[in-house]
Amino acid sequence: MSGTQDAISAEIFSQSEQAAEKPAENAAEAKENEGAKKKLTPSEKMDALLRGATPKGMRREIEKLRKESAKYRISAREEAAQRSALQEKADAIQKELDNLKESNRNLKIMRALDNAGCLKSELVAKDIPADCADFEEFIENYKNENGFLFGIKKQSHGGNFKPQNSQNLTPSQRMDNYIRKALRRG
């Protein structure tokens, strides 16, 4: 027992001795208290105990109170364990969410660089600062400063797209067109 509980127990015991001297009064009070115990708050119950009751009754009441406090301590520990487990899960989910946000941001940057015609978008993506809010503007400025990293802007066409000049050409005519384009003569 702690020092406080010892002091309270000693005080209760001394009062119980005084109560033994007044059995008639205590019997009447005990009957009143039993009827009112169901409606009393914990502090009122303690006051009733201190005012007087039989030593056995006080011991039983003290034991009930100790059992009840032990029950509350155990439930508080269980709730704390549950809270910590939930907090760990929440931290893991938050970490995963942050990773997904970063991955999504990187994919947006890569797509914007590819659309701008960047030849090495993985390398250029590392140069974009983390706090950059407008990727498009940054990429345009970067493209003006480092033009050698950017080629022609990609154009996507339908799956069956064929340029006009290569339709209905024989393989030798196609080869002639490639050679002319390479020499920039046609």
pLDDT at 135 over 90: no
What pLDDT is stored for residue 9 in this prediction?
61
pLDDT at 107 over 80: yes
> What pLDDT, in 10s, does the model give residues 73-84?
999 999 999 999
What number of other Cβ atoms are within 10 A of residue 34's Cβ?
Answer: 12
Higher model confidence: residue 63 or residue 58?
63
The token pair at 80 is 């704390």
Does the predicted TM-score (pTM) go above 0.85? no
pLDDT at 102 over 80: yes
Place of tokens 């105990």: 49
Mean pLDDT computed over 168-185: 81
Measure the CA–CA gap between 90 and 98, rounded to whole angstroms.
Answer: 12
pLDDT at 171 over 70: yes
User: Would the CA dihedral through 109, 110, 113, 118 be positive or negative?
Assistant: positive
Least confident interval from 45-49, 69-73, 93-97, 137-141: 45-49
Asked if residues 115 and 154 have their Cβ atoms less than 8 Å apart, the reply is yes
C-alpha pair distances (Å), 25 with each of 37, 54, 61, 116: 18, 12, 20, 97
Higher model confidence: residue 51 or residue 145?
145
What pLDDT is stored for residue 87 in this prediction?
96
Asked if residues 143 and 116 have their Cβ atoms less than 8 Å apart, the reply is yes
Asked if residues 145 and 108 have their Cβ atoms less than 8 Å apart, the reply is no
Higher model confidence: residue 151 or residue 92?
92
What are 150's strand-pairing partners?
Answer: 118
- Phi, psi values for residue 150, rounded to 5°: -120, 140
Mean pLDDT of the chain: 76
pLDDT at 55 over 80: no
Asked if residues 97 and 89 have their Cβ atoms less than 8 Å apart, the reply is no
Mean pLDDT computed over 153-181: 70
Length reported for the chain: 186
What dihedral angle (degrees, nearest 10) is formed by the CA atoms of 86, 89, 91, 94?
A: -120
Of the candidates 124, 101, 127, which has an alpha carbon nearest to the alpha carbon of residue 113? Answer: 124
What pLDDT is stored for residue 36 in this prediction?
47
What pLDDT is stored for residue 82 in this prediction?
95
Q: Which amino acid is at 60?
A: R
Q: Tell me which H or E stretch contains 6.
A: helix 3-21
